[in-house]
Structure 1
Amino acid sequence: MSIGLNRRGLLVGVAAGGLIPPAAAETPDIGPLGKPSWTLDGPQGAAAAKGLAFGAAVPSNLLNHSAAFRRILARDCGLLVGNNEMKLAVVMPEPGRTDFAPADSMVRFARAHGQHLRGHALVWHEALPAWVAPLLTGANSAQAGDFLHRWIATIVGRYRGLIESWDVVNEALAGYGPIHREDGLRETPWLAALGPESIDLAFRLAHEADPRAALAWNEDSLEHAFGWVEAKRARALKRLEGMRARGVPIHRFGIQAHLISDQPFDPKPFRRFLRDLGALGLGIEITELDIDDKAFPADPAARDKAVADFARRFLDVALDEPAVLNVVTWGFFDGDTWLNDHPDHRRRDGLRQRPLPFDEPMRPKPFREALIAAFRHAPDHSAARARLRNTP
């Protein structure tokens, strides 16, 4: 099938299963499981002593072409997640064609170095190939549900038993600005095709595809001290309570933690939110930590210190909570950050952002030391975390 299919052809393809080839049953070439490569004196070593895991988002192009990048990942990280490698736009760029090579390369590296894996992300309003939104627009609920089933079965089934946790839904709630729905859900092609039930359905399908994987809802804009953020936290908790009451197989909640230097952070309400999540019996993951430094000085040394200080203030609060299991940075060195490409995050002085633990030449920065210090000084909740890791 080609991109040029009309809507009727696409819908026939959904009904016939032709849009997604039966690749889930294939065994990927992932190689043997190696011994953990991370060192005791790095971030993962410090995290592991408290029952935590530390890691980073990984673009496969860098992983496959930069020996220096592979070295710092192997030494410092116990957990990896793909940037885009397991998203629909990469895995199924055209109807009827799948591409697992980027994801497989990341899985092979993690396996060889004894690292755990997160899967990101099954249902998101972005990273959709051009052919999917028209398909969902023209599908009835049964057809859209069948497509979602086939997609989740394909990607989750391929890596069954290899992924510690999956981001099943990503950024499901509307954020800053007008809220058009009483339930606060973001308007997306998935929501339009399947309604609010699409969230519960996605979790049930993911659990069916891999009953051993922990399943997470990953959400943005929950960290800073604004009224609309507090309202978003309340909406998240209300929906989570409903999902738990309905028996939805949700095990974790992901907080992205894209921290912004010119926005306020108040530890008290954030700590309360973490405790409320933990009280629901959910594990918590910090999934996309970085620090937008646009309000910090131009001088690199002063800026790096301010970034590290902000990261430490945030982590000191987060790591107090026994339900927090993982801390993942979105990228690992300053040459691999999305912030320089986003108009809302560019610095006014034109300098490049320095938001991550290593600088552009991959030299360690104070942020890395702040991670190690935060893990070492965190309370030891290893027993509680071990119990949560065993769910499901």
Structure 2
Amino acid sequence: KFRGHCLIWHNYQPEWFQNLKGEDLKNAIINHITTVLTHYKGKIDTWDIVNEALADVDATEENPFVLRDSFLLQEVPDYIDIAFKTAREIDPNLKLFYNEYYNEGGPHYNWFGQNLKKSNATFNFAKDLLDRGVPLDGVGLQYHIQSTSYPTYDQVMEVMAKYAEIGLEVQITEIDVRLDGKLTPELYELQARLYAEALKACLDSSNCTAFLIWGVSD
């Protein structure tokens, strides 16, 4: 089995694509998805259709989720719906995933000390897609963590269980464990434990269907 990553993302796009407006950008999105999925039909069984579409804030009572204010959203407000619906039309047998970071359950602190956790926002976003009839089969948990900021096994299990309740798969899609500070035997032991806990959570969750390591250096 092969996993495709990713069809639509706001980042690292060619200038000509970023400069498209309105209907032209919409058509480019549809054409790109159609071309790629037609080419790989029957060869790849799972794709991240949309990647990192949420802003770096978690859910509040007023805002269950906040979409990233990207050029995609500005020019084609329904680009996410279009992407998933196009993918389903081109390959009805494909598993369609939404992929996101900081969404596996624990706190995440960036270089400025800001807590960027967004597990609840990602769940609310996925549920909103389902409630509106947008095709979605699962959510990718990127799982980029560090030795000073990581989720517990129980937190990850809770996140996976929530998706199971609404009929969605989860996959750990980009796991790596960054070590902060001076490297010591204790830090390497922590790194190994965090990898083990993530894998155990996936194996212990019936709806977790893949575990992918982002790099080989660890």
**TM-score (norm: length of structure 2):** 0.86
Q: Does residue 149 of the first structure (1) align with residue 30 of the second (2)?
A: yes
Deviation at 1:220, TM superposition (A): 0.4
Alignment equivalent of 1:312, drawn from 182, 186, 196: 196
Deviation at 1:313, TM superposition (A): 2.2
Equivalent residue for 1:161? 42
Distance 2:107 2:191 in 1: 21
Give the 3-state SS of the residue equivalent to 1:290 in structure 2: strand
Letter in 2 for 1:265: P
Give the 3-state SS of the residue equivalent to 1:319 in structure 2: helix
Q: State the superposition RMSD in angstroms.
A: 2.3
Q: Which has the higher strand share?
A: 2
Deviation at 1:305, TM superposition (A): 2.7
Give the 3-state SS of the residue equivalent to 1:216 in structure 2: strand
Equivalent residue for 2:18? 133
Alignment equivalent of 2:74, drawn from 186, 192, 198: 192
Unpaired runs of 5+ residues, structure 2, are: 109-114
Deviation at 1:224, TM superposition (A): 5.2
Distance 2:49 2:132 in 1: 17
Equivalent residue for 1:329? 213
Letter in 1 for 2:140: G
Equivalent residue for 1:124? 9
- 1:263-321 deviation per Cα after TM superposition (whole angstroms, max 9, x unaligned): 142333332221111111111110001110124x524x554333111211232233221
Q: Judging changes above 3 Å, is the alpha-carbon distance between structure 1 residues 294 and 224 closer, same or farther for their aligned structure 2 residues?
A: farther
Q: Does residue 292 of the first structure (1) align with residue 178 of the second (2)?
A: yes
Equivalent residue for 1:175? 56
Q: Does residue 205 of the first structure (1) align with residue 86 of the second (2)?
A: yes
Distance 1:263 1:283 in 2: 25
Equivalent residue for 1:239? 125
Equivalent residue for 1:253? 139
Q: Judging changes above 3 Å, is the alpha-carbon distance between structure 1 residues 285 and 225 closer, same or farther for their aligned structure 2 residues?
A: closer
Distance 1:219 1:258 in 2: 10
Letter in 1 for 2:120: A
Q: Which has the larger radius of gyration?
A: 1
Distance 2:42 2:166 in 1: 25
Give the 3-state SS of the residue equivalent to 1:294 in structure 2: coil
Q: Judging changes above 3 Å, is the alpha-carbon distance between structure 1 residues 146 and 246 closer, same or farther for their aligned structure 2 residues?
A: same
Distance 2:27 2:150 in 1: 43
Question: How many residues end up aligned between the 2 structures?
Answer: 209
Equivalent residue for 2:111? none
Contact 2:105 2:119 in 1 (8 A): no
Contact 1:224 1:263 in 2 (8 A): no
Contact 1:259 1:291 in 2 (8 A): yes
Q: How does 1:98-113 map to 2 (within 5 A)?
A: none
Letter in 1 for 2:206: P
Percent identity over paired residues: 28
Distance 2:127 2:104 in 1: 20
Deviation at 1:129, TM superposition (A): 1.1
Q: Judging changes above 3 Å, is the alpha-carbon distance between structure 1 residues 235 and 302 closer, same or farther for their aligned structure 2 residues?
A: closer
Deviation at 1:176, TM superposition (A): 5.4
Equivalent residue for 1:352? none
- 1:328-367 deviation per Cα after TM superposition (whole angstroms, max 9, x unaligned): 0112x22xxxxxxxxxxxxxxxxxxxxx2xxxxxxxxxxx
